[in-house]
Structure 1
Amino acid sequence: MDTIDNLSFTLVTKLTQSVIKNTASILLLLLVFSCQGQTSGNYKRVNLNNSWGFVDENEKVIIPLGIYDFLNPIDEQNMILAKMNGKDGYIDIHQNILIPFEFEDLGVFSDNGLAPAKKNGKSGAINRKGKVIVPFIYDKVNYFYKSGLAIASKDDKFGFVDGKGKEIIPVIYENVDQTMNDKIVLVSKNKKWAFFSNNGEQLTDFKFDQIKQAYIKQNGRDKDTYFKGGLAIAIIGNQVQYLDQNLKEVIPLGKYDFTKSLNKNGFGIVGKNNKFGIINNQGREVVPLEYDTILHPTRYTNILELFILKKNETLKILDENTKVIKENILACTWDKIDSDDYYSNVLLVKDYQNKFGIIDEIGKTIIPFEFEKLLPFDAQETTIAKKNNKYGIINYKNIALIPFENDEIHSNKFSKIYIVKQNDKFKLYNKKGIKIIDFVFEDLQPCFYDQDNKFIVRFKGKYGITDITGKEIIPNEFDEISNWVEYGPEAHFVTKNKKIGMYSRDGIQLIPPIYDEIKYVNNNIIIVSQNKKYGVISISNKNIIPLKYDKIYLDRYKITYENKEPEIYVLKNGIYSQLDKNNKQIRSNISEKEIKEKFEYYFEK
């Protein structure tokens, strides 16, 4: 059974700064991937073989396939970005052309009503009537963000234009940058950055090597910002400082040697000399620098804004406002629970009495600390738990759906079933705790390729394969049956009376269990031995090279990964020869030295 005794947290300590240089074509590409199948009003986009159209709620064709190479969803003003015959334009749902198909590239409209466009190899921006607002004189013009500005570039120089087409910051700089959520922008000169206002006023000197970006969630979307929690992290050389939204220094340069962006409530992790604490957005240390580690619980790309503090091997959990939730714990990890209509972010915790429980983001205990083991829910409604040395299944309300009376329970987050063992009986339950079937076997393991439907079982010391209905797939008569085999066939190796054979996953005997050894290369080359003689057969037991050689050598890597014809070398009566795949001799009397050099890793005389 898996536990979380030795779980660790992932700490993302570096937020790289990337200059926003996305072209209108990249914006269009993103929309292609993010909007497929999206319904706009009573209409739905459809596509087939790189052709796009629209149907209504009754699946009646409104815009047929075969005309447009791409159609974007209908926007808030009932306009559809379309691509036809290599040109971009805008139409409505009735295929009236709103903006002519005369652009090589065309983006979606920003909040200011402008869309980046490209025509005759040059970029600019147009309004919803197709009028040119930003002239087509630039190499690239990007999307307009909250600043009201768009990045423009020409001859490898960068600047900003506004919604009237005016260059607010001249296109003369080596680099520029902006975020989706800030009105001020960044400009780079001589590899140093300065802040500028969105009316073009320079607000700081060109002195920063980097301004870190962070992400905040607004209206269900992640948006980047320099000022998460109210402060920006500015880097000069190897030292950091915090700036407020007026670009006033709140925490001086070099006070801390470790910093992390603040959370949404204005609290952030800082460190000095390998000791860590937490500051607020006024620069005050609300948690002193006395902890060995302070982390945010992280799972994949999901980061909770709680804090986990470690000191002398003991953990403490604080909420997003630095209020203590739970102290004196040994381990915890981020988890997610399917709670009816929504997912809950929670912490799976092991306390000082080695008991497991779960607390939510506000510190409420939702699964009491009474379990000897508790596996993560992994975005499911139920999970495996252990109490009084017996296993059961609980749901997110701590209701025992499978009683705590079982010796073992196995599953994983990709499976749809629980395998429950009690004495020599196995029961299969679905993930809602409803029993599917009872089995009487000594052992039961899911087949890796169909773990919810097929199982390797042992009964009276013999192995076979049974499906979830109890139907026998491979008879219970073998001493061994393989499950997953690296570089193996899509079939099972079976052993009976110390002889090896193969069965298909559907229970068809491919190779009878008559061989002492089977080495699978591919379906057409399987080296077998019998009574110390070697040969080659196919997966259908067709004889390729007869069983008469003392040894067979071949380079599996070249066959499998370089797709080369097999070079087969055989040893018989002390003489090495080379055969082709049809058992025709190519060479004879090959020296042992050559064979040894060619097969040095597994040469055996």
Structure 2
Amino acid sequence: MPGYQLLPFSLRRPLWAVVGLLLTAEAAAQTQQPPRLVPFRQGSRFGYADLSRRLVLPALYDDAGPMVNEVAWVRRGALYGYIDGSGNPVTPVQYAAAGTFGPDGRATVVLAADTFAIGPDGQRLTGPAAPASETDYLEQGDLVRRQGKVGFRFTSGSSTVVPAEYDEIRDLHHDGLLLVRQGTKWGVLNAKGRLTLPLEYDAIRATPANGFVLPVVEQAGRFGYLGPDGKLLTPIKYATAAPFVQDVARVTTATGQPGYLDSRGREFWDDK
């Protein structure tokens, strides 16, 4: 299924990405409250800003992760630790790798080659993780097939029948939006059967871990995000783009600098 798939974490890979601990699909499940603070890069250092982009916690860190229930990982040099929403340490900066807290209240860390989970208080957890809950995403309708092509009949929220003229259709399960492909190019249809995004993109990638919202859109090796209205939330300009976690997504700029966006597409960094 070209162009539509679960999005791999594709930023340049420091240790935490290599071991697959940060910004994982599990951590992306949108069950917690939206964050009060967003990681903000000031030059080459990270602090945290409020939703108006006002720096609240000073830029003291070499890297930082999204706040989940007021706890986030931070990095100084080669080591990681955790802080709370007031900037107070939850753990020492001591881990070789550290993960974002998931909806189960667990984060994975590596300390002296020992990999284990901690809770939001920073204490080591000894019990096994609870089984991940399954979510049934309601279909917005049914595929219609005719002479090797695919259409769509909405059965929820619209009476529109999309003609069978596409090579592939994927239901986003929300907002009446469908991902459609003709040949190698992808676009987006709304519940009225109209293209809100033309068929000119190389890939549109969504993940069930965040409810298929704000998919990543790729064109000519650059990336952006699809908004809930079926149009581009951001320009297609980033070198890499990760799925949204808690209304925050990590990207790499065209100049190779990391940074974060919020779910309105606002950039939380200042290169000055």
TM-score, L = length of structure 2: 0.45
RCO higher in 1 or 2 (8 Å CA, sep ≥ 6)?
A: 2
Q: Which has the larger share of strand?
A: 1
Computing the radius of gyration over CA atoms, which structure comes out larger, 1 or 2? 1
TM norm structure 1: 0.22
